[in-house]
Amino acid sequence: MNGRISLDTNIVIRLFKNDPIIANMFAGLSALYLPVPVIAELIFTARNSSRSGENLKKYNEFIDACNILNITRETANHYSVIRLKLKQKGRPIPENDLWIAAICIEQNLPLATGDAHFDNIDDLKIVRW
């Protein structure tokens, strides 16, 4: 890993819960990337919480400090390939996770995640924390 990594929602949530493993892993990184679907999930999580105002502020500050990975036409191409292969394997995954994987493959970035279903995606580099 070259110090650049894309984060899944569950990793960011663990960071906000002061998970020492996650905090230590972040120390060695030069750049953090967030796919747009992760940003949407984070903002939803903040809005859906009992302290939405406080959490929105905290999450938005974190998002602003990261590099944002947008969805492109090329992302859509990767998405279609991933979705078809998973369908053929009988291993569907949540819609947002398809987009997250497609973005990471397009950008050639590893994905830090705690979700095992990403293991079924060919060509996706996964980092487990």
pTM, two decimals, is 0.94
| Number of domains present in the structure of the chain | 1
Contact 91, 83 (CB under 8 A): no
Token reading at 72: 């492109």
| CATH number for the domain that contains residue 12 | 3.40.50.1010
pLDDT in tens, the chain (129 residues): 568 999 999 999 999 999 999 988 888 788 999 999 999 999 999 999 999 999 999 999 999 999 999 999 999 999 999 999 999 999 999 999 999 999 999 999 999 999 999 999 999 999 997
State the residue range of the domain holding 112: 4-128
Q: How are the residues of the chain apportioned to helix, strand and coil, as percentages rounded to the nearest 5?
A: 60, 15, 25
